[in-house]
């Protein structure tokens, strides 16, 4: 028995990848599941693997089920096909397609074969051994702070804080308005005083 290490790249950015470890006796359904778990995708949609080569051409399919479409050759089924039976060389390639509507595509490359004597068989295979890059979001977009921000928002009740800031601003606006009114009143009083003093100064004179 051997453990196979695959590097799974997101097709649109090869800097984003996950390394997964599987036993060569495990099937493609288990590889399918660990890839989705590695990229934090759900498992609600259709999926298929393609045998491939160094130029990433699509060969025979290893499919989750037989779909209503044309096949060049009848597909193998994931649950019935052991991964080891499809390893032709030490640099074996596969293409993984998930959700035929969204067409999520991943490129899979065998990067290491670990013999049984060197493998840690106490580990729970299949498993993710390495994560590089922020993976794509299956639905929508991911905020910079993600779930942690939601925890912070709940802990400190940011919605209430926002309302508080709004009230404070309103109070400031109100105080500004009252200051303006006081200023206008003061200016009015000053003008009245000026008028009174002016009338005294020019009393008895005509223009």
CA distances from 101 to 12, 13, 94, 149, 173 (A): 17, 20, 20, 31, 53
Sign of CA dihedral 135, 141, 147, 148: positive
The pLDDT value given to residue 92: 97
pLDDT tens, 67-85?
999 999 999 999 999 999 9
Phi then psi dihedrals of residue 196, to 5 deg? -65, -45
Averaged pLDDT for residues 173-187: 53
pLDDT tens, 121-167?
889 999 999 999 999 999 975 544 444 444 444 444 444 444 444 44
The two tokens of residue 186 are 């003061």
pLDDT tens, 82-105?
999 999 988 999 999 999 999 999
The pLDDT value given to residue 150: 44
Residues 6+ apart with CB under 8 A from 41: 98, 104, 138
Residue 55 pLDDT > 50: yes
DSSP 27: B
Of 46, 45, 50, 44, give the one whose Cα is nearest residue 11. 50
What span, in angstroms and rounded, lies between the C-alpha atoms of 90 and 6? 11
Preceding omega of 187 cis (within 30 degrees of 0): no
The pLDDT value given to residue 184: 53
Averaged pLDDT for residues 181-202: 49
pLDDT tens, 5-37?
999 999 999 999 999 999 999 999 999 999 999
């Amino acid at each position: 028995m051997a453990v196979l290490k695959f590097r799974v790249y997101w097709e649109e950015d090869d800097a984003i990848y996950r390394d997964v470890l599987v036993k060569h006796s495990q099937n493609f359904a288990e590889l399918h599941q660990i890839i989705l778990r590695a990229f934090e995708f759900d498992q609600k949609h259709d999926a298929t693997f393609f045998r491939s080569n160094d130029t990433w051409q699509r060969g025979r399919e290893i499919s989750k089920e037989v779909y209503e479409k044309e096949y060049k050759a009848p597909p193998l089924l994931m649950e019935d096909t052991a991964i080891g039976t499809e390893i032709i060389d030490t640099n074996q390639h596969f293409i993984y397609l998930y959700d035929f509507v969204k067409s999520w595509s991943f490129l899979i490359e065998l990067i290491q074969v670990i013999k049984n004597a060197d493998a840690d068989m106490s580990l729970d295979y299949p498993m993710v051994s390495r994560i590089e890059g922020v993976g794509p979001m299956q639905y929508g977009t991911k905020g910079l702070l993600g779930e942690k921000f939601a925890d912070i928002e709940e802990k400190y009740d940011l919605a209430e804080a926002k309302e508080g800031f709004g009230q404070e601003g309103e109070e400031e606006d109100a105080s500004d308005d009252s200051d303006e009114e006081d200023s206008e009143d003061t200016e009015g009083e000053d003008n009245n005083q000026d008028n009174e003093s002016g009338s005294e100064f020019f009393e008895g004179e005509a223009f």
